[in-house]
């Protein structure tokens, strides 16, 4: 989500004051000839072009021969907190076997209370929900993140999590990120800035691969709805107890779960207590 220009009027004002030579005590004298010259106009700054991401071949070449040593949800380069004491609420829409539902009640609560959030969309969920996806993309309250093409753990060796087989090699990991990145870029008019893998599991080579594509990896510090299995009371207790600065993970593709009701219970009290909420990009 976070003056860079010279103020021309101020510069011209200073130039005007310098057009009269100083009189007594250093003050400008109206009858004193001036030798100051008007400054030459500054050239217009060249537009800053965004960096060009590396090609698929370049990314795979950088990963070649690297053998990962780590696996899990809490690795270097995986963000679990945000600065400043705010809470960053994040909600996944997993798609496919993970569920193509749309929790309109949860989104409605966030909108009614004006609570910003980052929503991670899987490619299959976008395909199944083109209308809601377009609405969410157009709503400035929300930031959309990349939740992968096939909702697989991001691995370069095929590691699994929760019974879901991860991507088997760097090429598959690349496609898991880049495929949905292109889909979301078409939806948003720009590439997403954040990525979360299916199951939120990674190895360190895969984390680096995401960074090469210009996205940051989102982890979590608090599991707000237990993978859409918590009751409303459990969701409410967990979210209300989240330490300041936490990234909270939940889901918005299971309207039958307790997520919406739990957040509806927890958020008013947090807001009344002065808790701030931010998107991952600010």
Query: 9: which residues sit within 8 A by CB, 6+ positions away?
Result: none
In this prediction, residue 52 carries a pLDDT of 78
pLDDT tens digits for 210-264? 999 999 999 999 999 999 999 999 999 999 999 999 999 999 999 999 999 999 9
- Total length of the chain: 282
Structural domains for the chain: 73-272 (3.20.20.370)
In this prediction, residue 33 carries a pLDDT of 39
Residue 260, phi then psi, degrees to nearest 5:
-60, -50
Measured distance CA(85)–CA(132) in Å, rounded = 31
Mark the ranges of the chain whose per-residue pLDDT is less than 70.
1-51
In this prediction, residue 53 carries a pLDDT of 79
pTM for this one?
A: 0.82
């Amino acid at each position: 989500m976070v003056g860079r220009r010279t103020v021309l009027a101020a510069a011209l004002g200073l130039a005007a004051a310098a057009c009269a030579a100083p009189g007594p005590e250093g003050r400008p004298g109206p009858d004193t000839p001036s030798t100051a010259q008007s400054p030459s106009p500054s050239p217009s700054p060249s537009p800053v072009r965004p960096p060009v991401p590396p090609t698929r071949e370049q990314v795979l070449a950088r990963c070649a021969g690297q053998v990962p040593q780590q696996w899990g949800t809490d690795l270097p380069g995986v963000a679990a907190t945000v600065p400043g004491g705010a809470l960053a609420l994040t909600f996944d829409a997993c798609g496919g076997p993970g569920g193509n539902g749309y929790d309109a009640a949860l989104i409605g609560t966030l909108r009614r209370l004006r609570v910003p959030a980052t929503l991670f969309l899987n490619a299959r969920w976008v395909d199944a929900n083109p209308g809601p996806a377009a609405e969410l993309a157009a709503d400035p309250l929300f930031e959309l993140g990349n939740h992968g093409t096939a909702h697989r753990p991001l691995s370069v060796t095929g590691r699994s999590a929760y019974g879901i087989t991860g991507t088997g090699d760097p090429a598959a990991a690349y496609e898991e990120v880049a495929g949905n990145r292109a889909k979301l870029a078409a939806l948003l008019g720009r590439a997403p800035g954040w990525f979360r893998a299916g199951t939120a599991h990674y190895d360190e080579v895969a984390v680096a691969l995401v960074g090469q594509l210009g996205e940051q990896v989102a982890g979590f510090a608090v599991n707000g709805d237990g993978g859409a299995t918590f009751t409303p009371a459990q969701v409410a207790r967990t979210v209300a107890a989240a330490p300041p600065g936490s990234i909270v993970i939940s889901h918005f593709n299971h309207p039958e779960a307790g997520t919406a009701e739990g957040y509806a219970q927890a958020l008013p009290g947090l807001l009344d207590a002065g808790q701030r909420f931010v998107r991952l990009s600010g």
